[in-house]
Amino acid sequence: MKKWMIPICCAFLMGCGEDPMPKPKGYLRLDYPRASYKKSKANLPFTFQRNTLAQRIKAIKKINRSYGAELNYPSLKATLYLTYMPINNNLDSLLRDAQNLTQKHTVKADAILSKEFINENTNAYGMFYEVEGDAASQAQFYLTDSTSHFLTGALYFYAQPNYDSLYPASEYLKKDIVHFMETLNWND
């Protein structure tokens, strides 16, 4: 009986089941809502249109008529930090500081792409920087009218920088930043 039991068990175990099939590759799909914009109502020296996903604009008045503001995107776990400073014969140093802030990310960035921004209708000129790679900030910009107003912005996520994981949200918010820049008006 023992002689027959082992071959029967082996046949039973080998005969049951299908050939293993590899699972197909799956990719993460993130769908963001179509951007809907409304005019900002924050007490700042400039106005702009913001995405309705940015649930809150927190404006903080600093000394010497400068301001700090935050546009929070809770669903994307990101914040766009804004800093406004009036120009007092210091445009060169403000431009240098804004460019140096972006260049500090070259340690972790794979590339930094710069795009010049000119809007003669609203008297807004500046640069938009797309930071590729595992840098802390994925996008930065500055805008000025060259005589009175200077504004910088930087996008940060509440996560460890991982370019591949942040890419979809980063691309969505970069479009928001460009829209912000296009709709910015200085309050004089």
- Listing DSSP states for 71-134 in one string gives EEEGGGTEEEEEEEEE-SS-HHHHHHHHHHHHHGGGGTEEEEEEEEEEETTTTEEEEEEEEEES
Tokens for 66? 């400068």
Give SS3 for 45. coil
User: Where are the domains positioned within the chain?
Assistant: 56-186
pLDDT of residue 15: 58
* 111-163 pLDDT per residue, tens: 888 899 999 999 999 999 988 888 888 899 999 999 999 999 999 998 887 77
Of the pLDDT bands very low, low, confident and very high (cuts 50, 70, 90), residue 182 is: very high
Q: Decide if pLDDT at 59 tops 80.
A: no
Nearest to 186 by CA among 142, 148, 135: 148
Mean pLDDT is lowest, of 11-20, 33-42, 116-125, 137-146, for 11-20
pLDDT of 106 reads 66
* Average pLDDT value for the chain: 84
- Which is higher by pLDDT, 22 or 181? 181
Higher pLDDT, 69 or 4: 69
pLDDT tens readout for residues 61-86: 776 778 888 999 998 899 999 999 99
Cα(118)–Cα(182) distance, integer angstroms? 9
- Give the sign of the dihedral formed by CA 175, CA 65, CA 146, CA 95: negative
Q: Which tokens hold the place of 8?
A: 């029967």
Cα 17 from chain centre: 49
Q: Hey, what CATH class is 56-186 in?
A: alpha beta
Residues near 115 by beta carbon (within 8 Å), at least 6 away in sequence: 127, 128, 129, 130
Higher-confidence residue: 148 or 104? Answer: 148
What is the predicted pLDDT for the residue at 26? 61
